Amino acid sequence: MITKQTAYEPFTTDSVVDYLKQRELINPESPVVCEEIGDGNLNYVFRVTATDSNRSLIVKQALPYAKVVGESWPLTLDRARIESESLLQAAKVVPELVPAVYENNPVLASTVMEDLSSHTVLRKGLIEGKRYPELAKHIGTYLAYTLFYSSDFGLEPAAKKELATRFVNPDLCNITEDLVFTDPFFDHETNDFPEALRPDVEEIWADDNLKLEAAKLKQLFLTKGEALIHGDLHTGSVFVTEGSTKVIDPEFAFLGPIGFDVGAFIANLILNYLSQEARLTDTSERNEFQDYLLAVIKETWEVFTETFSGLWKQDGKGAFITVPGYLDYVLSQILQETVGFAGCKIIRRTIGLSHVEDIDGIENSEARINVQRAALQVGRKLILKRESQEKIEDVIALVRGAGNE
């Protein structure tokens, strides 16, 4: 009887059904279908559907190691608590933009939550050239609310410190510290790129300027406890329909720099933008879709900054909130850090461990390598030129320009 267990054990498609029925999260009398649908690297994801009522649930269970690597890479189960608590934290301010959490079991490192089968993974949708009219508004809102209300701008200092202690997340932070901020800039065994790209990669490894800027960005990630960030906000962590957007998988959450979340989202849109060079062969169709992606970046930033500014004026904490120029300073810092973090993310997804389907799925290898090459160029420019980015249009011009060089 798994419910009586006091120790962790991985679920099977059978035991997870028993568990849900015993907890009466699913009607014990119902016939059910259960499938393991996880395509991530670190967890099991079961979908359990009662076929009579068609009620379905997701059970996400952390594995004590990284699934992609195997048991040689142990990972704390505490990340399941962090993920569910982070979802609950987000639900306080943007309940419509995250899946509902029904139960968290710290022993089993499992979370029972809303099934989002009606939604598509955003990455998949974008690869297929789909457009989501509400996406930018939703993500901009998600970013503004979750980040503002977990920062010192929206929280009293003591509450912020209490939040920080609940989201200390060394194992998952370590993945980012290594795979995003370190390994791609050095000849490290975790890197993963085709031989044809080696000259470009070696240029990165030899570029002391770039490495200095990467070091600064890594230091920010290590030391800047600005807000409770999602920590892994790529387009695989966003589920969408035409009118609904849900942010999932915040297991990397911790008190970090705001720009890391904004940058992760933008980076993945840029990766898709670059991949379309090889995906959409019709020029005008390609141009239009790429324009759409850049418009999403622009609108996401605008909604984020307008909403964040509104919250600042309405709910800002502390005597300095009304000092002229302070909000502008904060937003300009966030933009520059967003740009730098986006650059690191793009480089990592191109030559580090764990790529994106947007690019890896390009069948023609020459075309794929051209896209990877362009990605390295864009990533590099974003890192090196981040401090001269004054507005989102600068970033968009940089992306547009880099693709054409």
- Bridge partners (DSSP) listed for residue 113: 58, 101
208 vs 405, which CB is nearer to its own copies?
Answer: 208
To the question of whether residue 348 is assigned a binding role by annotation, the answer is yes
The residue whose two tokens read 């907890």 is 23
**DSSP annotation of 389:** -
Query: Which is it for strands 32-36 and 43-50: parallel, antiparallel or unpaired?
Result: antiparallel
31 vs 325, which CB is nearer to its own copies?
Answer: 325
Query: Which is it for strands 238-240 and 43-50: parallel, antiparallel or unpaired?
Result: unpaired
Q: Cβ of residue 336: shortest distance to its own copies, in angstroms? A: 14
Residue 92, amino acid: K
> What are 20-27's contacts with CB under 8 Å, separation 24+?
20/48, 20/57, 20/59, 20/112, 23/103, 23/112, 25/57, 25/102, 25/103, 25/112, 26/50, 26/55, 26/57, 27/52, 27/53, 27/55
To the question of whether residue 114 is assigned a binding role by annotation, the answer is yes
To the question of whether residue 302 is assigned a binding role by annotation, the answer is no
Who contacts 331 (Cβ-Cβ below 8 Å, separation ≥6)?
305, 308, 309
d(CA 186, CA 191): 9
d(CA 193, CA 373): 11
To the question of whether residue 246 is assigned a binding role by annotation, the answer is no
Q: Cβ of residue 76: shortest distance to its own copies, in angstroms? A: 10
Query: Which is it for strands 43-50 and 56-62: parallel, antiparallel or unpaired?
Result: antiparallel
218 vs 246, which CB is nearer to its own copies?
Answer: 218
100 vs 215, which CB is nearer to its own copies?
Answer: 215
Q: Cβ of residue 248: shortest distance to its own copies, in angstroms? A: 25
Query: Would you state the structure tokens that stand for residue 321, as one six-digit string?
Result: 């909130």
Q: Cβ of residue 101: shortest distance to its own copies, in angstroms? A: 25
d(CA 379, CA 398): 10
Who contacts 367 (Cβ-Cβ below 8 Å, separation ≥6)?
277, 278
Q: What is the 3-state secondary structure (H, E, C) of 276-326?
A: HHHHCCCHHHHHHHHHHHHHHHHHHHHHHHHHHHHHHHHHCCCHHHHCCCH
Q: Cβ of residue 328: shortest distance to its own copies, in angstroms? A: 10
To the question of whether residue 387 is assigned a binding role by annotation, the answer is no
Q: Cβ of residue 329: shortest distance to its own copies, in angstroms? A: 7
To the question of whether residue 251 is assigned a binding role by annotation, the answer is yes
Contacting positions for its own copies (CB under 8 A): 152, 157-158, 160-162, 164-165, 168, 170-171, 173-174, 177, 182, 185-186, 208, 211-212, 214-216, 218-219, 222-226, 318-320, 323-326, 329-330
1 vs 158, which CB is nearer to its own copies?
Answer: 158
Q: Cβ of residue 261: shortest distance to its own copies, in angstroms? A: 15
Q: Are 9 and 108 in contact (CB under 8 A)?
A: yes
163 vs 233, which CB is nearer to its own copies?
Answer: 163
Taking each helix axis as running N to C, give the angle between helix 258-279 and helix 326-351, from 0 to 180 degrees, rounded to the nearest 10.
Answer: 50
d(CA 366, CA 225): 42
Q: Cβ of residue 223: shortest distance to its own copies, in angstroms? A: 5
215 vs 295, which CB is nearer to its own copies?
Answer: 215
117 vs 322, which CB is nearer to its own copies?
Answer: 322
Q: Return the number of other C-beta atoms located less than 10 Å from residue 244's C-beta.
A: 16
Q: Cβ of residue 384: shortest distance to its own copies, in angstroms? A: 13
To the question of whether residue 249 is assigned a binding role by annotation, the answer is yes
28 vs 157, which CB is nearer to its own copies?
Answer: 157
To the question of whether residue 272 is assigned a binding role by annotation, the answer is no
Instruction: Give the residue numbers of the binding site.
Output: 43, 60, 114-116, 232, 249-251, 348
Instruction: Give the residue numbers of the binding site for ATP.
Output: 43, 60, 114-116, 249-251
Instruction: Give the residue numbers of the binding site for substrate.
Output: 232, 348
